[in-house]
Structure 1
Amino acid sequence: EIDDGLSIEFLENDRQKIWVHIADPTRLLTPGDELDLDARRRTTTLYLPTGIIPMFPSELATGPMSLIQGQICSALSFGVILDESGEVVDYSIHASLIKPTYRLTYDDVDEMLQLQIKLEPEIHVLNQLAKQRFQWRQSQGSISIYMPESVIKVEGEEVKVEVLDDSPSRQLVAEMMIMAGEVGAKYGQKHDIPLPYRSQPQPELPPEAELILLPAGPVRSCAMRRCMPKSEMGIIPARHASLALETYVQVTSPIRRYSDLLAHFQIKAHLRGEELPFSRDQMQEIVMSLVPAVKEASSVERFTNRYWGLEYLRRNSDEVWQALIIRWLKEEINLGLVLLEELGLELAMRFGRSVNVGDRLEVKVAHADPRKDEVIFQEVITTVAEAAAN
Structure 2
Amino acid sequence: MYPLFRSVKSICIVLWTVLWIIPLHHSFHLTHRRSQFATTRNAHASTGWFPVLEVEQEDDIFHENDAQEILEAQSAILAADLARARLNSIEKTSTINATFTREMEPFVRGRFMDLTCTAVGEQSLENLFFDQSALVQRAVEEASTWDVLRGAVLTFQSLCAMATQVGLRGPPEQLKRMVAHLDDRNDKTLIERDFRHTWDRDSVRRLKYKVDRSPALDLLAELMWKRTPQGAFDLLIRLGAWTEHEDLALLRSGFPLRFTEEEDALAKQAFKDERDPDAMLGIRKDLRHLKVYTIDGASTTEIDDGLSLETVSKPDGTTRNRIWIHIADADRWAPRGSKLLEIARQRITSLYLPLGSIFMFPSSVSSDLMALKTHRDSYALSLAVELNEDGSVDPDSLMLTPSIIRVTYRLTYDEVDEMLEEGIGYHEEWELGALLAEAKKRRKYRCANGSSEQLIPRPIPTASLSVDRNNTLPDEFDISLSIQVAYNSGQNQSKATLENPNSPPSFEDPVSSSYLLVTEAMIMSGECLGHWKTKIEHDYKQNSGNEHDNTLRLAFRAQPKPEFLQRLREYKTFLDLLEQNVGDGYCHAWYGRRFLQGAKVSETKMPHAGLGLSSYVQWSSPIRRFSDLQVHSCIKRYLRRNRVYELWKAGESIPDGLTSLDLGLPQGFEDESGRLKPPTAPIKTDMLDNDIDFMEGGGLLGAARNLQRRSQEYWHFEYIRRAYVADPGKVYDAVILGLVDPAKRQHAIYVYELGLEHRYTSPAGILDAGVKLRLLVDDVSPRHGLLSFVRTM
Give the TM-score normalised by structure 1.
Answer: 0.91
**Which residue of structure 1 aligns with residue 245 of structure 2?**
none
**Which residue of structure 2 aligns with residue 358 of structure 1?**
770
Distance 1:277 1:325, change over 3 A: farther
- Higher gyration radius (CA): 2
Which of 34, 39, 59 is equivalent to 2:364? 59
Contact 1:5–1:21, Cα closer than 8 Å, also in 2: yes
How many residue pairs get matched? Answer: 381
Which of 178, 182, 201 is equivalent to 2:523? 178
The 3-state SS of whatever aligns with 1:218 is helix
Distance 1:237 1:276, change over 3 A: farther
Kindly state the Cα deviation for residue 214 of structure 1 after the two structures are TM-superposed. Answer: 5.0
The residue type paired with residue 420 of structure 2 is L
1:101 matched to 2:388? The reply is no
Distance 1:209 1:154, change over 3 A: closer
**Which residue of structure 2 aligns with residue 148 of structure 1?**
461
The residue type paired with residue 521 of structure 2 is M
| Alpha-carbon distance in structure 2 between the residues aligned to 1:45 and 1:333 | 39
**Which residue of structure 2 aligns with residue 387 of structure 1?**
none
- Farther-moved stretch of structure 1 (65-74 vs 322-331): 322-331
Contact 2:353–2:712, Cα closer than 8 Å, also in 1: yes
Kindly state the Cα deviation for residue 213 of structure 1 after the two structures are TM-superposed. Answer: 4.0
The residue type paired with residue 400 of structure 2 is I
**Which residue of structure 1 aligns with residue 335 of structure 2?**
30
The residue type paired with residue 160 of structure 1 is S
Which of 734, 739, 742 is equivalent to 1:331? 742
**Which residue of structure 2 aligns with residue 78 of structure 1?**
383
| Alpha-carbon distance in structure 2 between the residues aligned to 1:45 and 1:149 | 21
Q: Which runs of 5+ in 1 are unaligned?
A: 382-390
Kindly state the Cα deviation for residue 128 of structure 1 after the two structures are TM-superposed. Answer: 0.7
The 3-state SS of whatever aligns with 2:368 is coil
The residue type paired with residue 316 of structure 1 is A
The residue type paired with residue 350 of structure 2 is T
The residue type paired with residue 188 of structure 1 is K
| Alpha-carbon distance in structure 2 between the residues aligned to 1:184 and 1:277 | 22
Contact 2:745–2:761, Cα closer than 8 Å, also in 1: yes
Contact 1:4–1:252, Cα closer than 8 Å, also in 2: yes
1:231 matched to 2:599? The reply is yes
**Which residue of structure 1 aligns with residue 664 of structure 2?**
276
Give the TM-score normalised by structure 2.
Answer: 0.46
Which of 411, 420, 444 is equivalent to 1:135? 444
Which of 204, 207, 220 is equivalent to 2:588? 220
**Which residue of structure 1 aligns with residue 120 of structure 2?**
none
The residue type paired with residue 719 of structure 2 is Y
The residue type paired with residue 303 of structure 2 is I
Equivalent runs, 1:1-390 vs 2, <5 Å: 1-12=302-313, 13-89=318-394, 90-117=397-424, 118-144=427-453, 145=456, 146-156=459-469, 157-165=477-485, 166=488, 167-190=512-535, 191=537, 192-205=551-564, 206-207=571-572, 209-211=575-577, 212-215=579-582, 216-272=584-640, 273=642, 275-276=663-664, 286-317=693-724, 318=727, 319-353=730-764, 355-381=767-793
| Alpha-carbon distance in structure 1 between the residues aligned to 2:311 and 2:665 | 36
The 3-state SS of whatever aligns with 1:2 is coil
Quick check: which one's helix share is greater?
Answer: 2
Output the aligned Cα RMSD: 2.1
| Alpha-carbon distance in structure 2 between the residues aligned to 1:316 and 1:226 | 33
Contact 1:239–1:246, Cα closer than 8 Å, also in 2: yes
Q: Which runs of 5+ in 2 are unaligned?
A: 1-301, 470-476, 489-511, 538-550, 565-570, 645-662, 667-684
The 3-state SS of whatever aligns with 1:358 is coil
Contact 1:234–1:284, Cα closer than 8 Å, also in 2: no
The 3-state SS of whatever aligns with 1:153 is strand
Kindly state the Cα deviation for residue 282 of structure 1 after the two structures are TM-superposed. Answer: 6.1
The 3-state SS of whatever aligns with 1:5 is strand
The residue type paired with residue 5 of structure 1 is G
The residue type paired with residue 296 of structure 1 is A
Distance 1:348 1:282, change over 3 A: farther
| Alpha-carbon distance in structure 1 between the residues aligned to 2:305 and 2:696 | 26
Distance 1:360 1:376, change over 3 A: same
Contact 1:195–1:283, Cα closer than 8 Å, also in 2: no
| Alpha-carbon distance in structure 1 between the residues aligned to 2:403 and 2:748 | 49
The 3-state SS of whatever aligns with 2:609 is coil
The residue type paired with residue 364 of structure 1 is L
Partner deviation per Cα, 1:72-105 (whole Å, 9 max, x = no partner) = 2111111000011111112111111111111111
**Which residue of structure 1 aligns with residue 508 of structure 2?**
none
| Alpha-carbon distance in structure 2 between the residues aligned to 1:362 and 1:18 | 49
The residue type paired with residue 352 of structure 2 is Y
| Alpha-carbon distance in structure 1 between the residues aligned to 2:523 and 2:691 | 23
| Alpha-carbon distance in structure 2 between the residues aligned to 1:209 and 1:187 | 37
| Alpha-carbon distance in structure 1 between the residues aligned to 2:718 and 2:690 | 42
Partner deviation per Cα, 1:339-373 (whole Å, 9 max, x = no partner) = 22223221111234353212232222110012221
Distance 1:342 1:308, change over 3 A: same
